[in-house]
Chain A
Amino acid sequence: MRLTGGLVFAVALLAVTLYFVTAGLEFDEMARQVPMIVGIPIAALLVLQIATELFPRVFARLDRADRKQVVQIDEELIAQAEATLASDENPGRSLEFHAWVGAFVLVIYAVGFLTAIPVFLTSLLYFRLKEKLWVTLLAAAAMWVVAYFGFMKLMEVPLFPGVIWG
């Protein structure tokens, strides 16, 4: 029994599901029907998922049955396909870049799209990804043009100005 990312994620999903079920109890009868009908079995399945994450050996047989496909395809072909599509996944880096994106959202909130776009692209490309300065500036300028002329002028979308300028 060990703490894995899969286990933590399943627990988080269970918490969300239980919130939907328990908060749903306060709604009128019609409004709570679907959250109950869907939420209770999903919560049960998540408990099972957590159990299989906690005790993989005990539930190994159930897990094998669960993964079995109705459409039977040559296993060699599947393995070949998986090898072709394989990529170097790095969960730590994924979360780091997601944090960068979170920072971008915050900067948009503060100073709006037109300022946030060059700030975000310059910081990420030049300082974090070590791109050449001219590539960084070109990308930042190109996306600023897309935002200003493409969205604001052509599509007439008044882009979020940010709480500071707005």
Chain B
Amino acid sequence: MLDAAYEGLRMALQPDALLYVGFGVVIGLIIGVIPGLNGPTALALFTPLTYRMDPSVAMAFLLAIYAAVSYGGSISAILIGVPGEGVNVATCFDGYEMTKKGEGGRALAAAATASGLGAIIGVLVLIAVLPVLRAIVFAIGPPEILAISLWGLTAIAALGGSLRRGLISGGIGLLLATVGFEPVTGTLRYSFGTLYLYDGIDLTAALIGFFAVTESITLLAQGGSISRVSIQGFSGIVQGVRDVFVNWFLFLRCSVIGLVVGIMPGVGGAVGNIIAYSHALQTTRGQYGKGDVRGVIAAEASNNAKEGGDLIPTVAFGVPGAASMAILLNAFYLHGLNPGKELLTTKLGFTFLMAFTLLTGNLLSSFIGLSFARVFSAIAAVRVSVLAPTILVFSFLGAYGVNGRFGDVVVAWIFGLVGLMFKRYDYSRAAVVIGLVLGENIERSFHLSIQTFGWSFVSRPLTMAMLVLTVVTLFVPLVFGRQEAEA
């Protein structure tokens, strides 16, 4: 373990990696402050650029972007009252009110401190559970991997909104993943006779279409300027830092909430910060909604502690808990990194690299974001009519860049349309991409389980437990819902 930690630290401190972390943080902050663009879009957009990078530098770059997007969103939430993405919505409740009272600097500093310290907690827990995860990963085989993947996908579908539409979305993702050669028998499926589909739908192109193209078109359709920047107050930075330490117990509780939310597939994302804010509201007395700094601390601590939690199921079991993690998982595959045993044994150094990058990325984004908050918030005022078309061009260049196939450009375009429809009619895009990314592994694990154990694989204790949990996850919302509806 210590050797791997040293290896991870060595990779994180390479000049190239450090340079790309800085670059990634600035990109993440810029994308974060622009309302309508979010973490998945940022990762989908920049994954193709990493294709020719060394895997360690690529991971450092992508995780730095991921770490910075959240604080970028806080800047626009606090200074102009428009959250960059869903995860910053609770920050907006009190943060913007503080800005209106002339305490924008205090709110930003509280957010930066809570984010940075929250991330430290998340990363420390990630590192602390690595030995336990190693033990678990060595004890499980294809049946358990299958059951965990099914549970993860079900949880995303069941906990993310409408159960029915969530399940449909996850199922469509799994069906799309069956295009191309079947992983065990090599049977060619749904290729329409085109050579392009022999290897299946290209994940990177599909993810670019589903997020970057969809979001750019949505921005264009909304039109106009995103927001007008009019920052009235920017004082109290030292006070803001002190606020977090004064309210340390609230900060700690909300960090734990974020961590748990991150580990649980499906619950995270936009809901995590509202759960933490709601907890602060219920457990402390204050002027919430009118500019109480504790509202900012609660939301931000949860947001950034969640990132460490997010990585746990992704790295250990290859089961992403949210859309961002599904895109990151695709980047793992792109760079020949296999989650599970490999990332916890022979390539454990990479896991430490990810933890260290998440930490430095968060601390750096808090520092840079706070220092140049006015500059970053001004970016939110850039007209979408200029921004969105350039993002579209960049998206298609990226889609083409990985494999150099024109078919990938077409796939990005088609998935852009499909993404628009999924967004418009409230189907879960996260569930589709997770189904698409997990599909091949689920199918391979299924066949290996059948071949090795027959159908009795379901009676293996851990498999059985996970399958029971899957059924419970499926039916709990219905039971709860029926009781509420009857009441």
* Interface set of A (CB-CB < 8 Å, partner B): 5-6, 9-10, 13, 16-17, 20, 23-24, 27-28, 30-31, 33-35, 38-39, 41-42, 45-46, 48-49, 61, 64-71, 73-74, 77-78, 80-81, 84-85, 87-91, 93-98, 101-102, 104-105, 108-109, 113, 117, 120-121, 124-125, 129, 131, 135, 139, 142-143, 146-147, 150-151, 155-160
**17 A–B contact pairs at CB < 8 A?**
A31-B187, A34-B178, A38-B174, A39-B175, A45-B164, A49-B168, A64-B484, A67-B162, A68-B485, A84-B92, A96-B221, A97-B217, A104-B392, A120-B389, A120-B393, A157-B400, A160-B400
B184 to A: closest C-beta gap in Å: 6
Residues on B with C-beta less than 8 A from A159 are 397, 400
B221 touches A28 (CB 8 A): no
B474 to A: closest C-beta gap in Å: 11
B172 touches A67 (CB 8 A): no
Q: Does B271 contact A (CB under 8 A)?
A: yes
| Complex Cα spacing A71 to B161, Å | 10
Residues on B with C-beta less than 8 A from A48 are 164
With contact pairs A81-B89, A90-B221, A101-B416 given, residues A24 and B189 touching in the complex (Cβ less than 8 Å): yes
Q: Of the candidates B383, B417, B481, which one forms a contact with A67 in the assembled complex, judged by CB atoms under 8 Å apart?
A: B481
A31-B189, A85-B83, A108-B396 known; 7 new pairs, CB 8 Å cut-off, are A30-B187, A30-B447, A41-B171, A73-B271, A88-B223, A98-B420, A124-B389
Enumerate B264-286 residues with CB–CB distance to A below 8 Å.
267, 270-271, 274-275, 277-278, 281
B275 touches A73 (CB 8 A): yes
Q: Does B218 contact A (CB under 8 A)?
A: yes
A89 touches B221 (CB 8 A): yes
| Complex Cα spacing A9 to B222, Å | 22
Residues on A with C-beta less than 8 A from B400 are 113, 157, 159-160
| Complex Cα spacing A66 to B409, Å | 36
Residues on A with C-beta less than 8 A from B289 are 80
Q: Does B127 contact A (CB under 8 A)?
A: no
| Complex Cα spacing A95 to B214, Å | 11
Identify the closest chain A residue to B85 (Cβ).
A85
Residues on B with C-beta less than 8 A from A64 are 481, 484-485
Enumerate B49-99 residues with CB–CB distance to A below 8 Å.
49, 51-52, 83, 86, 89-90, 92-93
A142 touches B172 (CB 8 A): no
Residues on B with C-beta less than 8 A from A105 are 396, 409-410, 413
A160 touches B409 (CB 8 A): yes
B320 to A: closest C-beta gap in Å: 18
Residues on B with C-beta less than 8 A from A49 are 164-165, 168
| Complex Cα spacing A103 to B462, Å | 52
A13 touches B162 (CB 8 A): no
Q: Of the candidates A20, A28, A88, which one forms a contact with B222 in the assembled complex, judged by CB atoms under 8 Å apart?
A: A88
With contact pairs A31-B185, A69-B159, A71-B267 given, residues A78 and B392 touching in the complex (Cβ less than 8 Å): no
| Complex Cα spacing A124 to B384, Å | 12
Q: Does B480 contact A (CB under 8 A)?
A: yes
B478 touches A65 (CB 8 A): yes
Enumerate B446-487 residues with CB–CB distance to A below 8 Å.
446-447, 476-478, 480-482, 484-485
Q: Does B26 contact A (CB under 8 A)?
A: no
Enumerate B246-295 residues with CB–CB distance to A below 8 Å.
267, 270-271, 274-275, 277-278, 281, 289
How many pairs, one residue from A and one from B, have CB atoms within 8 Å of each other in the complex? 228
B222 touches A89 (CB 8 A): yes
SS of B interface (majority): helix
User: Chain B contact residues (Cβ within 8 angstroms of A): what range?
Assistant: 35 or more
With contact pairs A30-B187, A93-B220, A160-B406 given, residues A117 and B393 touching in the complex (Cβ less than 8 Å): yes
1/0 contact string of B157-190 vs chain A (CB within 8 Å)? 0110111110110011011001000101101011
Identify the closest chain B residue to A163 (Cβ).
B406
A17 touches B175 (CB 8 A): yes
Q: Of the candidates B168, B182, B271, B424, which one forms a contact with A94 in the assembled complex, judged by CB atoms under 8 Å apart?
A: B424
Residues on B with C-beta less than 8 A from A88 are 222-223
The interface centre, meaning the residue of A5, A39, A77, A89 with most chain B CB atoms within 10 A of its CB, is A77
Identify the closest chain A residue to B90 (Cβ).
A81
Identify the closest chain B residue to A80 (Cβ).
B93
Residues on A with C-beta less than 8 A from B182 are 27, 30-31
With contact pairs A71-B275, A74-B278 given, residues A139 and B168 touching in the complex (Cβ less than 8 Å): no
B175 touches A20 (CB 8 A): yes
With contact pairs A98-B420, A124-B389 given, residues A9 and B425 touching in the complex (Cβ less than 8 Å): yes
With contact pairs A20-B190, A30-B187, A42-B168 given, residues A158 and B485 touching in the complex (Cβ less than 8 Å): no
Identify the closest chain B residue to A88 (Cβ).
B222
With contact pairs A71-B275, A120-B389, A157-B400 given, residues A85 and B86 touching in the complex (Cβ less than 8 Å): yes
